[in-house]
Amino acid sequence: MQVSLTSLEHPVRANSRASFAVHYADGLAARQILAQPGNILAVIGYGAAQPPDFLPPFCPFAAAPLVPVTDGAMFEIWTSKSPVRAFALGRVNGSVSDALAFGAVEVDEAAHHALEPAVEQAYLKIFDFLDAAGMPAPLRFWNYLTDITGDENGLERYRRFNIGRQAAFTARLRQALPPAASGVGGHHGASMIYFLAGREAPRAIENPRQVSAYDYPAIYGPRSPSFSRASATGQSLFISGTASITGHETRHVGDLPGQVAETVANLRALIGGAGPTPATAEWASKIYLHDPAYREAVESAIDTLFGAGSPRLYLHGDLCRTDLLVEIEAFRQG
């Protein structure tokens, strides 16, 4: 029988389903969460250059070069249902469970003459880490790049980033399509990449309202951005950073409510295209704002899309096109 042959090829072990969650917490809440017994994959700090004093021993910490729009540091905490152990390879620092890996790496620009070899090297190290961890399938990447729209010797840094990323993916990515991602600019500190990975490739989802990023025309740079609009694994869904783009063009230039509405339409298309949402689904979102003052214009849209009480993190960052005012990513925890 075909069905049982397929399941024999990929035996499902009782505890191997990727089962994980994210929490966004200020210092006080993060201290409480991390004081509980639990399986912490990683902590990412925003507006926190140093690991917090309440970080559990051996827990990976990554300082993101983005700041919250609110006062004080914020923490993104990834937890796993199954036990986690610290795992590092070279400069890639992370953790593994039976089903998942987390890792983070700084892009070492000082060691390279340009951004693209620095990014390519960082991604090659990530693929080494994934191989060593036995989790060859990236589910989700976050790319936080300093001065993302700045010029570097005649080519925009985001375009150089795309050249380096694509070179590494061409050499090492084993799945047919790249996973979901965000690409956002930081205002301080080093560029960094962090990621989640599993054993099996996620299902890639595209948005019929948008040209696939990996098919963007060359007007956006010599190499296209390597990411899918969403990645699904088990009941979980990662939605990439989503902005006011239809086809491949930015819409509603200079019009904040227009950009929010178009972004919401794109998010709805992705959610609708991902299949039925489990009744127990919970959404978490991160909202990147070009100006902290834009927060009010987004809040009610997030309430409507993901629930009034849904966890969310508003960050101040530059987007990879200077005409974009807001970008929203989301994670559906099944």
What are the residues binding ligand 3EB (CB under 6 A)?
Answer: 143, 181-183, 213, 225, 227, 240-241, 243, 245, 320
Shortest gap between Cβ of 231 and ligand 3EB (angstroms)? Answer: 12
Shortest gap between Cβ of 292 and ligand 3EB (angstroms)? Answer: 20
Return the ∠ at Cα 46 (arms to 139 and 305), rounded to 5°: 60
* Contact indicator for 247, 254 with CB cutoff of 8 Å: no
5 vs 3: CA distance, rounded Å: 5
Shortest gap between Cβ of 227 and ligand 3EB (angstroms)? Answer: 4
Please name which of 177, 210, 197 lies closest in space to residue 133, comparing C-alpha atoms.
Answer: 197
Residues listed for the chain: 334
Shortest gap between Cβ of 169 and ligand 3EB (angstroms)? Answer: 11
Asked whether the CA dihedral 95, 96, 99, 103 is positive or negative, the reply is positive
Ramachandran angles phi, psi of 44, nearest 5°: -115, 130
* Contact indicator for 324, 244 with CB cutoff of 8 Å: yes
By beta-carbon distance, which residue lies closest to ligand 3EB? Answer: 183
**Nearest residue (CB) to ligand 3EB, 136 versus 183:** 183
Shortest gap between Cβ of 324 and ligand 3EB (angstroms)? Answer: 7
Shortest gap between Cβ of 57 and ligand 3EB (angstroms)? Answer: 33
What is the DSSP pairing of strand 39-46 with strand 61-64?
parallel
Please name which of 131, 55, 138, 69 lies closest in space to residue 294, comparing C-alpha atoms.
Answer: 69
Shortest gap between Cβ of 250 and ligand 3EB (angstroms)? Answer: 9
Sheet architecture: strand order including 61-64:
20-26, 74-80, 39-46, 61-64
**Nearest residue (CB) to ligand 3EB, 30 versus 243:** 243
Burial class (CB in 10 A: 0-12, 13-18, 19+), 46: buried
**Nearest residue (CB) to ligand 3EB, 30 versus 327:** 327
**Nearest residue (CB) to ligand 3EB, 73 versus 245:** 245
Q: What are the structure tokens assigned to 329, written together?
A: 């990513």
